[in-house]
A and B are shown apart, each in its own frame.
Chain A
Amino acid sequence: MTAIETDSLTKRFGEDVLAVDDLTLTIEEGEIFGFLGPNGAGKSTTINMLLDFIRPTDGSATVLGHDAQKESGAIRRKVGVLPEGANVYDRLTGREHVEWAIRTKGVDDDPDEILDKVGLDHDDATRQAGGYSKGMAQRLSFGMALVGDPELLILDEPSSGLDPNGIQEMRDLIREEAASGTTVFFSSHILPEVEAVCDRVGIMNEGQLATVDTIENLRDSSDGQATIDVELGGIPDRIDLSSVDGVVQADVDDGTVTVVCEDPSVKVDVVTTLAQQAEVVDILSEDTSLEELFNTYTTGDAGSSEERVSDPAEVTA
C-alpha cells in the first residue's frame, strides 16, 4: 500500500506565485522519505496540502489511502504530525500537551513514557512550555507526533532549532520509529540530515520535483563531479570561465572562487584559466559528495557551463 500519493498536485498563491507545480510523487509504506530542498521550494506547502491546512489549486493527494481533502479527519487519526514553525502553547506544561494529544487521538499512551523518549525529563514536563528553549519545544512537538503510535509520521523540518546532539537524537528516534514499521516523511533543507537516515529522497526546487531517487543512486550519479576552491589575491573585477569546458557551476565569495567540475580533470584547466586572470593564492580540492548534486538541482542553471556569479547567501540557502 502507498503511504502518500500525489497526482499533479499544484498550489498557486494569487496570480504570480506557483508554490507547488504539478507534483506527482508516491511514497510506499515503511519508507523513510526525505523531502529536500531550499527554503521556499514548496516543501511545507506540499505538507500543508496533505494535512488539509491549505487546499490544492489543482491535482489531488491521498494519505494512507484517504483523500487529503475529503477524509482529512481519518488521515489525522492515523498520522503523527510535527508542523513547521508552530509555537507550542506557552501556558501549558509539556505533559499537558502530550496528555491533550493522547485524549484527542483517543488512545491510552503513557505521557511520561513519550516525554522520556524524546528527552524531556520530569522537571521539564511539569514546567510551562513558554519557558522552553527552541530545542525543547521541538522535542515536545515530536513527542506529540509520536502519540498513538501512528502509521505515518509527517515531520516538517524536524531538526530545526536542535543542537548537533539533538539532531543526532532526533535521527535515532526517526530510525527507531521506522524500524517498528512506521513510514516517515520528513522535509529538510539540510542535506546531511536527510542523507543520514533516508531510504529515498525527493529534491524540490521552485515548486517542482527536481528528482526522486535512492541515496545510493544519487551518490552514483554525483560521482565524477568535483569541486575546487581557488583563493585569489585580491578581489578581481571579473572572472571568466566560459572558455573552460566541463564547468558545471562557479560562485565567487570574497576572494574565493568555488567551481563544480564535470570530472576531476577539469580542475587543472580551471586553475590555469584563473591564474591568467588573477593571482592564485591557494587551492583547495574537495571530495565529491551529494552536496554538489543537491546544489546543481537547486540552483537555476544546473548543467550549464556558463559562469555563474551570484550572491553566496542564495547558494547556501
Chain B
Amino acid sequence: MSIANVVRKDFKDVRRAKLVWAPAALYTMFMLLFFWGQSNGPANPNFYSLIQGLAGIGGVMLIPLIALVAAYLSIAGERESGSIKFLLGLPNSRSDVVLGKLLARSAVVATGLLVSFAVAVLAAMVFVPDMTFEYADYAVFVALTLLYALTYVGVAVSISAVSSSRSRAMGGAIGFFFVFNLVWNFLPVSPRNMVQFLADKLGTDVSQNTLDLIWASSPTGAYFGSLQFLDTPQFAGGMSGSSPFYLEAWFMVVILVAWLVVPLALGIWRFQRAELG
C-alpha cells in the first residue's frame, strides 16, 4: 500500500520539525493559563463557559494556526526543494502523495491537540477542583475540534498541492484564513452582512435562517454551529427554537466534512495535472 509508505515517511520527517510542534505547545500553554486564570475567577466556574472560551479562541486563532502551519508546506515545500522527485520517482501516484500527506499531517496535528486536551483535564483538576467536569460533553467537544482541525489540515494540504512554491502556499494559507475565518465570521464586511445590506437596499427580505446559514458555511462557522451537540443552551446561539435542518448540529458536521472533501478533491485533481519541472 503506497499511501501507507508516504504517510510513514512523512510522519517520520515532520515529527522532527520543531516548527510543527510550536503551535501545539502554544495551545497547551494557553490551556494551562486559561485554567489557571479560572482559579482566580468566579467562585463557581461553569464548565460550559470554560468550553465556550476554549472554543472561541481555539476556533478563531489557534486551531487554524496549528493546522495551517503543520500542513501548508507539505507538498509545495517538497516541490521547491525538489525532493518531490524522490516521492514520485518511486512508485507512488500523485493521489497517494496528497492523501498520504493529509493522513501524516492530520496525525501530527491530532497528536498535538490530544496532548493539549489531556493537559487541560489535569489543569482543570488542579486549578478549578470545584467545577463539575462533564467528561461526555468534553469528549464531544474534543471530537468536533479535531474534525475542525482536520478540515483545516485538508485545506492546507490542498493549497499546498496546487502551489508551485513555498511562498505561494504561504500566501494561499494566509489568504484562506483571512477570507474564510476573519472576514467570513468576524469582520463587519462578512458575506452575511453584505447579503443583508444588499437585501435592504433592494428592498427584499432575506430570512434570518438564510443569513445564519451563510455565516455557518465557513469551516469556523460550521465548527461553532456544530457545538450545538453539547448538552447546553450556551451554544444554541442565534439558532434557537425550531431551526431548519440546515442549521442543526448534524448539518454543521456535513459542512465541515464538505470543507475536507471538496478542496481535497480539487487539490488532487490539480496536482495530478501539475508540471513538476
The interface size of chain A toward B, counting residues with CB under 8 Å, comes to 32
Nearest CB in chain A to that of B17: its residue: A91
Interface membership of A164, Cβ < 8 A:
no
Interface membership of B276, Cβ < 8 A:
yes
Return chain A residues, CB-CB under 8 Å to B82.
83-87
Interface membership of A144, Cβ < 8 A:
yes
Contact A91–B88 (Cβ < 8 Å): no
Return chain A residues, CB-CB under 8 Å to B277.
13, 45, 48, 53-54
Nearest CB in chain A to that of B277: its residue: A54
Return chain A residues, CB-CB under 8 Å to B9.
89, 92, 96, 100
Q: Which residues between 74 and 109 of chain B lie within 8 Å of chain A, taking CB atoms?
A: 81-86, 88-93
With contacts A83-B82, A83-B85, A104-B92 taken as known, whether A55 is within 8 angstroms of B5 at the C-beta atoms is no
Nearest CB in chain B to that of A48: its residue: B277
Nearest CB in chain A to that of B14: its residue: A91
Cβ contact of A100, chosen from B8, B81, B91, cutoff 8 A: B8
Return chain A residues, CB-CB under 8 Å to B17.
91
With contacts A48-B276, A92-B9, A92-B13 taken as known, whether A86 is within 8 angstroms of B88 at the C-beta atoms is no
Contact with B along A103-145 (1 / 0, CB 8 A): 1110000000000000000000000100000000000010011
Give complex CA distance A77, B92 in Å: 9
Contact B83–A104 (Cβ < 8 Å): no
Return chain A residues, CB-CB under 8 Å to B12.
91-92, 96
Give complex CA distance A76, B86 in Å: 11
Q: Which residues between 55 and 87 of chain A lie within 8 Å of chain B, taking CB atoms?
A: 55, 73, 76-77, 81, 83-87
Return chain B residues, CB-CB under 8 Å to A96.
9, 12
Interface membership of A88, Cβ < 8 A:
yes
Return chain B residues, CB-CB under 8 Å to A100.
5, 8-9
With contacts A48-B276, A53-B275 taken as known, whether A89 is within 8 angstroms of B13 at the C-beta atoms is yes
Give complex CA distance A212, B90 in Å: 29
Contact B13–A86 (Cβ < 8 Å): no
Contact A89–B83 (Cβ < 8 Å): yes
Nearest CB in chain B to that of A85: its residue: B82
Interface membership of B16, Cβ < 8 A:
yes
Return chain B residues, CB-CB under 8 Å to A45.
277
Give complex CA distance A48, B276 in Å: 8
Contact A91–B90 (Cβ < 8 Å): no
Return chain A residues, CB-CB under 8 Å to B84.
86
Q: Which residues between 257 and 277 of chain B lie within 8 Å of chain A, taking CB atoms?
A: 275-277
Interface membership of B2, Cβ < 8 A:
yes
Interface membership of A51, Cβ < 8 A:
yes
B76 to chain A: closest CB distance in Å?
Answer: 14
Contact B85–A53 (Cβ < 8 Å): yes
With contacts A91-B13, A92-B9 taken as known, whether A81 is within 8 angstroms of B85 at the C-beta atoms is yes
- B interface residue numbers (CB < 8 A to A): 2, 5, 8-9, 12-14, 16-17, 81-86, 88-93, 275-277
Closest 10 CB pairs of A and B: A81-B89, A83-B85, A86-B82, A91-B16, A87-B81, A53-B276, A86-B85, A76-B91, A54-B275, A104-B90
Ordered by A's residue number, 7 sampled pairs between the chains whose C-beta atoms are within 8 Å are A48-B276, A53-B277, A83-B86, A84-B82, A85-B82, A88-B86, A97-B86
